[in-house]
Chains A and B, each alone.
Chain A
Amino acid sequence: MPYQLLRFALNKKYPEPCMFPTPERLKPRYDVVIIGGGGHGLACAYYLARDHGIRNVAVLEKSYIGAGGTGRNTAIVRSNYLTPEGVALYDESVRLFQDLSDDLDLNLFYSRRGHFTLAHSDASLRTMRWRAEVNKHLGVDSEVVDRQFIKAKCPEIDLDCGHNAPVMGALYHPPGAIARHDAVAWGYGRAACQRGVEIHQGTTVTGIRTEGDRVTAVETNRGVIETRCVLSAVAGYTPRITSMVGLRTPITVHPLQACVTEPLKPWLNVIMVSASLHIYVSQSSRGELVMGASLDPYEVHSTRSTLDFVEGLAGHLLELFPFLWDVKLLRQWAGLSDMTPDFSPIMGTTRIDGFLIDAGWGTWGFKATPVSGKTMAWTIAHGRDHDLVKPFRLSRFEEFDLVGEKGAASVGH
Chain B
Amino acid sequence: MSRRLAPQPGEWIDRNRPVTFRFEGRPYSGFAGDTITSALWAAGVRVLGRSFKYHRPRGLYGLDGSDSNAMFETRDVVNIRGDRAPIEEGMDLRAVNTFGGVERDRLRIMNRFGRFTPVGFYYKAFHRPRSLFPFFENQIRRVAGLGTVNSGKALRHTPKDYAFCDVLVIGAGPAGLAAALAAADAGARVLLVDESPRLGGSLTWHGNLDDSRDRLADALRRVEAHQRIQTRTATCVAGLYADGWAALIDRLRLTKLRARAVIVATGVFEQPAVFPHNDLPGVMFAGAAQRLIHHYAVLPAERPVIDTRPEGDSPAAALLKREGINLLAGRFIARARPAGGLAGIRGVELCRVDERGLPRIEQRAEQLACDAVVMSVGWTPNDTLLRMVGTRMEYSAEREQFLPVELPGGVFAAGKVNGLVGLEDRWADGLHAGQAAASALGFGAAPGGSRPAPAGPAINHPYPVSDPDEGKNFVDLDEDLQVKDFRNAIQEGFNSPELLKRYSTVGMGPSQGKHANLMALRVLAKERGEPLAGKQITTARPFSTPVALGHLAGRIFTPYRHTPAHAFHTERGARMMFAGTWLRPEYYEVVGKTREACIQEEALHVRGAVGLIDVGTLGKMELGGPDAVRFLERIYTGRFDNLKVGASRYGVACDESGVVIDDGVVARLGPDRFYVSTTTSGADAIYREWQRWALCWGLKVILNNATAHWGAMNLAGPRARQVLQPLVDISLAAADFPYMGVRECRLDGVPARVLRVGFVGELGYEIHVPAGHALGVWNRLMEAGRAADVRPFGVEAQRLLRLEKGHIIVSQDTDGLTQPFEAGLGWAVKMDKPFFIGQRSLKIHQRRPLKRTLVGFQTDEARPRTMPRENHLIIEGKEMIGRVTSIAYSPTLKRTIGLAYLPPSMTAPDTRFTIRADGGELVPAQVCRIPFYDPAGERQRMTTPEEDAR
Contacts and interface: CB of A to CB of B under 8 A. Distances in A.
Contacts of B658: 400
A315 B157 CA distance: 10
Interface string B46-81: 000000000000000000000000000000111100
Contacts of B865: none
B334 to A, nearest CB: 21
Interface stretch (A65-73, A218-226, A240-248): A65-73
A102 B541 contact: no
Interface stretch (A107-115, A228-236, A361-369): A107-115
Nearest to A182: B502
Contacts of A29: none
A330 B130 contact: no
Interface stretch (B148-156, B356-364, B366-374): B148-156
Contacts of A26: none
B705 to A, nearest CB: 21
Interface stretch (B224-232, B391-399, B590-598, B866-874): B866-874
Given A8-B115, A262-B146, A307 B491 contact: no
B492 A265 contact: no
B142 A315 contact: no
Contact of A201 (B130, B153, B496): B496
B546 A330 contact: yes
A18 B493 contact: yes
Contacts of B510: 262-263, 330
A106 B123 contact: yes
Nearest to A313: B552
A287 B541 contact: no
A108 B558 CA distance: 39
Interface stretch (B197-205, B237-245, B313-321, B771-779): B237-245
Contact of B241 (A4, A306, A313, A319): A306
Nearest to B245: A307
B816 A165 contact: no
Interface string B431-474: 00000000000000000000000000000000000000000000
Given A264-B147, A325-B156, A400-B844, A315 B125 contact: no
B554 A315 contact: yes
A89 B244 CA distance: 45
A131 to B, nearest CB: 8
Nearest to A157: B151
A318 interface: yes
B816 A407 contact: yes
Interface in A332-357: 332-333, 341-342
B130 A98 contact: yes
Contacts of A149: none
B74 to A, nearest CB: 9
B883 interface: yes
B871 A126 contact: yes
A6 interface: yes
B118 interface: yes
B126 interface: yes
Given A318-B553, A333-B541, A265 B147 contact: yes
A101 B124 CA distance: 10
A102 B130 contact: yes
A325 B578 contact: no
B470 to A, nearest CB: 12
A306 B552 CA distance: 12
Given A123-B812, A315-B556, A319-B556, A267 B151 contact: yes
Q: Which residue among A111, A123, A134 has the maximum number of chain B CB atoms within 10 Å of its CB?
A: A123
A362 to B, nearest CB: 15
A77 interface: no
Q: Which residue among B121, B149, B579 has the maximum number of chain A CB atoms within 10 Å of its CB?
A: B149
B517 interface: no
B552 A400 contact: no
A325 to B, nearest CB: 3
A404 B815 contact: yes
Contacts of B133: 101, 107, 110-111
Interface in A254-298: 261-267, 283, 285-287
A63 B498 CA distance: 10
Given A183-B123, A266-B142, A162 B116 contact: no
Nearest to A403: B817
B549 interface: yes
B196 interface: no
A317 B155 contact: no
A213 to B, nearest CB: 25
Contacts of B129: 102
A267 B873 contact: no
B256 interface: yes
Given A8-B117, A71-B502, A102-B127, A265 B142 contact: yes
Contacts of A130: 871, 883
A108 B145 contact: no
A84 interface: yes
Interface residues of B, number: 102
Contacts of B146: 262-265, 287
A65 B262 CA distance: 36
A14 B114 CA distance: 13
Nearest to B155: A322
A346 to B, nearest CB: 16
A323 B549 contact: no
Nearest to A100: B127
B247 interface: yes
B550 interface: yes
Contacts of B117: 5, 8
Interface string B108-139: 00000101111001111111111001101100
A6 B121 CA distance: 11
B147 A262 contact: yes
B816 A133 contact: no
Interface string A316-328: 0111011111111
B121 A8 contact: yes
Q: Which residue among B123, B148, B491 has the maximum number of chain A CB atoms within 10 Å of its CB?
A: B123
Contacts of B155: 162, 318, 322-323, 325
A64 B502 CA distance: 11
A80 B165 CA distance: 50
Given A99-B130, A287-B141, A315-B554, A323 B502 contact: no
A147 interface: no
Q: Which residue among A99, A102, A127, A265 has the maximum number of chain B CB atoms within 10 Å of its CB?
A: A265
Q: Which residue among A64, A66, A180, A317 has the maximum number of chain B CB atoms within 10 Å of its CB?
A: A64
Contact of B256 (A65, A67, A286, A307): A307
A263 to B, nearest CB: 5
Contact of B816 (A327, A333, A406): A406
B145 A2 contact: no
A111 B133 CA distance: 8
Contacts of A381: none
A5 B110 CA distance: 14
29 contacts: A8-B116, A14-B491, A71-B498, A102-B127, A111-B133, A111-B134, A121-B577, A123-B811, A133-B883, A137-B873, A183-B123, A262-B546, A264-B146, A266-B141, A285-B137, A287-B145, A287-B146, A307-B239, A310-B552, A311-B554, A315-B554, A315-B558, A317-B553, A318-B553, A325-B553, A326-B149, A327-B149, A328-B549, A341-B657
Given A263-B144, A305-B239, 18 more contacts: A2-B126, A4-B125, A71-B502, A98-B130, A101-B133, A108-B127, A109-B122, A137-B873, A162-B155, A261-B546, A305-B241, A314-B550, A315-B556, A327-B149, A328-B549, A329-B543, A331-B543, A406-B816
Interface of B: 76-79, 97, 113, 115-118, 121-130, 133-134, 136-137, 140-142, 144-156, 158, 239, 241-242, 245, 247, 254, 256, 388, 484, 487-488, 491-494, 496, 498-499, 502-503, 510, 512, 541-543, 546-554, 556-558, 560, 577-579, 657-658, 811-812, 815-817, 841, 844-845, 848, 869-873, 875, 880, 883, 916
* Closest 6 pairs between A and B when the two form their complex, measured CB to CB: A287-B145, A325-B550, A322-B155, A328-B546, A314-B552, A130-B871
